[in-house]
Amino acid sequence: MMRFTQMNKAASAFYIPSVSFIGAGALKLAGPKIKSLGFKNALIVTDKGIVAAGLIEPALATLKNDGGIANFTIFDNVQPNPTVKNVEDGLKALEESKADCIISIGGGSPQDCAKGIAIVKTNGGKINDYEGLDIPKKPQYPCIAINTTAGTASEITRFSVITDEVREVKMVITTDTITPTIAINDAEMMVKLPKSITAATGMDALTHAVEAYCSLGASHVTDACALQAVRLIKKHLVTATFNGNDIPAREGMSYAEYLAGMAFNSAGLGYVHAMAHQLGAVYHLAHGVCNAILLPHVEDYNKTVVPHRLRDIAEALGETTLGLSDAEAADAAIAGIRKLSVAVEIPSGFKALGVKEDADLGRLADAALKDVCATFNPRQGTKEDIIELYRRSL
């Protein structure tokens, strides 16, 4: 039986967008709400993959017909692991278009870039000025997020992750004023998502749920969100990965990523994300794949301090824990994570992706320990601990 033992005994805060629309047909359902805000001229922040997939034109038609937006300027130069330059170029496009709102369409990269543009527009300076916790003083420019992947939850969170190309570091900007006004998760916008991206983003959502549940910032509210997210991911991820046209599976993953986002948005994350951010910045690897590879190794490291929490994760993953000690159940959770990762064909280690065991590991570890996500890991360690976790993940 799952035991909801609260990690953080102190009072806690809970962050969420003012309104969200989820499920098949959610974009059309959101139309009247968008129209009520009175926007007429939108900057669309997206990437070339979304454009090539044919998702832009149907979305613009709905925004025009149901949302009352007459004019659109498309900025589609966002790259995976969005950069400082992407934000600067997007800000220039916003100023030239004189748009009265920003609408992001895509996965985590367009969402993060759009939020970066929106916060710099109203606060001035450069996105680098806002790395860290609660630095912007003014609310962001009006921002509506239309999500096309079931993974990052950037459309609902108070985080924006932007790569500083000069330092080769992923900056984490954290403030509730960066959360979009409206979040839309329409399963019908996700059916064209390739298998590899479905798998990677789904494992990203699982990582959000597991890290949030084991986080030092966890509360009863985030616990409930995290565990239900794990159950839904276990039920729907494999089907969504290998049968992308299955709307119930896509919808299940939409709710799963949203719940996982609700959990980590308030509870925080841990070493998996702190370490994955650095791999993305230096090696330009897919964030979800990095998380999936790191997750079992980090939870194996954490299991000595949160075995009872990992027991709950094991049960949510459908693993048998009857008669097992907490330590044994924690191992069952780690095995369940690995089985799901294998089932959706995630690589088993980083060597296959070009990461080498050299001086980079020390540099990666230093940056990971400075990452805000590391603060919430239930077992705090040393640089040597982080280097060893990287080595085990190779």
Q: What are the angstrom distances between the C-alpha of 237 and each of 204, 245, 292?
A: 11, 13, 13
Are 341 and 204 part of one and the same domain? yes
pLDDT digits (tens, 9 = 90+) for 26-53: 999 999 999 999 999 999 999 999 999 8
| Structural domain includes residue 3 | no
Domain endpoint, select from 167, 189, 211: 189
Give me the pLDDT at residue 213, please.
98
Are 260 and 233 part of one and the same domain? yes
Cα 303 from Cα 54, distance rounded (Å): 44
Parallel, antiparallel, or unpaired for β 19-22 and 71-75? unpaired
Low-confidence winner among 117-126, 221-230, 245-254, 278-287 (lowest mean pLDDT): 278-287
The mean per-residue pLDDT over the stretch 91-101 comes to 97
The mean per-residue pLDDT over the stretch 75-101 comes to 96
Share of the chain above pLDDT 90, in %: 87
Are 30 and 46 part of one and the same domain? yes
Cα 321 from Cα 324, distance rounded (Å): 5
Give me the pLDDT at residue 170, please.
87
Cα 260 from Cα 333, distance rounded (Å): 17
Give me the pLDDT at residue 359, please.
61
CATH of the domain at 167: 3.40.50.1970
The mean per-residue pLDDT over the stretch 16-22 comes to 86
User: What DSSP character marks residue 124?
Assistant: -
Domain endpoint, select from 143, 168, 189: 189
Share of the chain above pLDDT 70, in %: 97
Domain endpoint, select from 138, 161, 189: 189
The mean per-residue pLDDT over the stretch 294-319 comes to 98
* Total domains, the chain: 2
Are 274 and 315 part of one and the same domain? yes
Give me the pLDDT at residue 157, please.
93
Give me the pLDDT at residue 10, please.
64
Are 61 and 132 part of one and the same domain? yes
Give me the pLDDT at residue 7, please.
58
CATH of the domain at 291: 1.20.1090.10
Q: What is the Cβ-side half-sphere exposure of residue 316, based on CA atoms within 13 angstroms?
A: 28
| Residues in contact with 188: Cβ distance below 8 Å, sequence separation at least 6, in sequence order | 24, 25, 27, 247, 250
| Structural domain includes residue 10 | no
Q: Which residue has the tokens 């992308």?
A: 244
The mean per-residue pLDDT over the stretch 92-107 comes to 96
| Structural domain includes residue 283 | yes
| Structural domain includes residue 227 | yes
The mean per-residue pLDDT over the stretch 234-254 comes to 97
The mean per-residue pLDDT over the stretch 301-322 comes to 97
More confident residue, 311 or 17: 311
Give me the pLDDT at residue 245, please.
95
Give me the pLDDT at residue 16, please.
77
Cα 44 from Cα 275, distance rounded (Å): 31
Cα 110 from Cα 106, distance rounded (Å): 6
The mean per-residue pLDDT over the stretch 4-19 comes to 66
> Which amino acid is residue 186, in one-letter code?
D
Give me the pLDDT at residue 2, please.
42
Q: What is the mean pLDDT of the chain?
A: 93
| Structural domain includes residue 8 | no
Give me the pLDDT at residue 8, please.
55
Is the confidence at residue 4, as pLDDT, over 90? no
Q: What are the angstrom distances between the C-alpha of 193 and each of 49, 187, 190, 247, 269?
A: 10, 10, 5, 12, 26
| Structural domain includes residue 12 | no
Is the confidence at residue 366, as pLDDT, over 50? yes
193-230 b/e with 16+ CB inside 10 Å = b?
A: beeebbbbbbbbbbbbbbbbbbbbbbbeebbebbbbbb
Are 138 and 101 part of one and the same domain? yes
pTM over 0.85: yes
Are 29 and 162 part of one and the same domain? yes
Which structural domain range is residue 363 located in? 195-393
Give me the pLDDT at residue 40, please.
96
Q: How confident is the model at residue 18 (pLDDT cuts 50, 70, 90)?
A: confident
| Structural domain includes residue 356 | yes
pLDDT digits (tens, 9 = 90+) for 148-174: 999 999 999 999 999 999 988 889 899
Are 347 and 200 part of one and the same domain? yes
Give me the pLDDT at residue 9, please.
58
Are 161 and 55 part of one and the same domain? yes
Q: Which residue has the tokens 């990095």?
A: 290
Q: Which residue has the tokens 């399963």?
A: 187
Q: How confident is the model at residue 81 (pLDDT cuts 50, 70, 90)?
A: confident
> Which amino acid is residue 154, in one-letter code?
S
| Three-state DSSP state, 356 | coil
Give me the pLDDT at residue 1, please.
40
Low-confidence winner among 30-44, 89-103, 159-173, 190-204 (lowest mean pLDDT): 159-173
Cβ 377 vs Cβ 270: under 8 Å: yes
pLDDT digits (tens, 9 = 90+) for 257-282: 999 999 999 999 999 999 999 999 88
Parallel, antiparallel, or unpaired for β 159-164 and 169-174? antiparallel
